[in-house]
Amino acid sequence: MYNLEAWEDKLIADIGKKRFNHCKRVMKMALLLNSDIEEDKVKTAAILHDCAKYNEDKYMMLYGENIDSYQLQFKAVLHSFLGAEVAKKEYNINDNDVLDAIKYHTTGRENMTQLDKIIYLADAIEEKRNYPGVDHIRKLAKNDLDEAILYSLDHNITYIIEKNDLIHPLTIDARNYLIKEKNE
């Protein structure tokens, strides 16, 4: 499945060298966070997680049939939902675990898989990410992915509220699920 040599030129053409380098750093972090998922899946989901970024209009025309008007309200995360379609149709990825990890890497979701968690966190804490709280999330991620994700979700929700923007319901679902699990 993972085939960076075959994908690199297309990825760089679509998302640019800077975003491609971010994807490589996400892959590096994902491999560090991974303990039991097949490495091929981790590398594939990580390197392709932003494959639709900056090209949402183009890919909406090609593959947006499953994106409804409700989802269009959430512009900042649209690339993740389109990314799953792009990975499937442009990069021939058929593994649903990989496609879901790409799809939910910005929002999270209720009952995230281990791969979902790894890609979500790796994207949030790759080595060049620099925002208030990122070092704490990195520290948490070394011991407990769920705690790190919960802290990251809280941070993201606060940021979105401060911007007076819409919070995707999947983000709320992800947070609520982790809190329920923590309190059981």
Tens-place pLDDT, residues 56-69: 999 999 999 988 88
- Encode pLDDT of 61-109 as tens digits: 999 998 888 889 999 999 999 999 999 999 999 999 999 999 999 999 9
Distance CA 3, CA 112 (A): 25
**Residues with pLDDT less than 50, the chain:** none
Q: At what angle do helices 114-125 and 134-141 cross, to 10 degrees?
A: 140
Distance CA 178, CA 173 (A): 9
- Domain chopping of the chain, boundaries: 4-183
Which class for 138: exposed (0-12), middle (13-18), buried (19 or more C-beta within 10 A)?
middle
The yes/no answer on whether domain 4-183 falls in CATH 3.20.20.140 is no
pTM, two decimals, is 0.96
Q: How many residues does the chain have?
A: 184
For residue 69, the model assigns a pLDDT of 86
